[in-house]
Amino acid sequence: MLRVSGLSVSYSGTLAVSGISFEVQEGEMVSIVGSNGAGKSTVLKTISGVLRPDEGTIEFFGERIDRLPAHEVVARGIAQVPEGRRLFSKLSILENLLVGAYTNKSEARRRESIEQVFEIFPILRDRQAQRAGTLSGGEQQMLAIGRALMSSPKLLMLDEPSLGIMPVMVERLFEVAERLNRGGTTILLVEQNVRRALELAHRGYVLQTGRIVLQGTGQDLLKSDQVRKAYLGL
Same domain as 5, residue 70: yes
Same domain as 114, residue 99: yes
Task: Enumerate residue ranges in the chain where pLDDT < 50.
Answer: none
Q: Which amino acid is at 50?
A: V
Cα gap 157→187, rounded to integer Å: 6
- CATH assignment at residue 22: 3.40.50.300
pLDDT value of residue 234: 53
Could you tell me if residue 224 is inside a domain? yes
Could you tell me if residue 50 is inside a domain? yes
Same domain as 28, residue 44: yes
Same domain as 56, residue 96: no
Same domain as 66, residue 41: yes
- What is the per-residue pLDDT across 73-125, written as a single tens digit (0 to 9) for each? 999 999 999 987 889 889 999 999 999 888 777 778 888 899 999 999 999 99
Same domain as 125, residue 58: no
Could you tell me if residue 169 is inside a domain? no
Reference 45, options 203, 164, 149, 190; nearest CA is 190
Could you tell me if residue 176 is inside a domain? no
- State which residues form the domain around 101: 79-152
Same domain as 94, residue 61: no
Based on the number of CB atoms within 10 Å of its own CB, is 228 exposed (0-12), middle (13-18) or buried (19 or more)?
middle
Q: Per residue in 12-23, is it b (16+ CB within 10 Å) or e — as a string?
A: eeeebbbebebe
Same domain as 69, residue 11: yes
pLDDT value of residue 36: 83
Could you tell me if residue 89 is inside a domain? yes
Same domain as 11, residue 60: yes
Listed residues 129, 152, 175: the one ending a domain: 152
Could you tell me if residue 173 is inside a domain? no
Listed residues 152, 174, 203: the one ending a domain: 152
Reference 57, options 128, 3, 120; nearest CA is 3
How many domains does the structure of the chain reveal? 2
Same domain as 38, residue 18: yes
Could you tell me if residue 189 is inside a domain? yes
Q: What is the crossing angle of helices 167-182 and 107-120, to 10°?
A: 130
Same domain as 110, residue 72: no
- Model confidence pTM above 0.85: yes
Could you tell me if residue 16 is inside a domain? yes
| Contact of 17 with 164, CB cutoff 8 Å | no
- What is the per-residue pLDDT across 70-87, written as a single tens digit (0 to 9) for each? 999 999 999 999 987 889
Cα gap 17→161, rounded to integer Å: 21
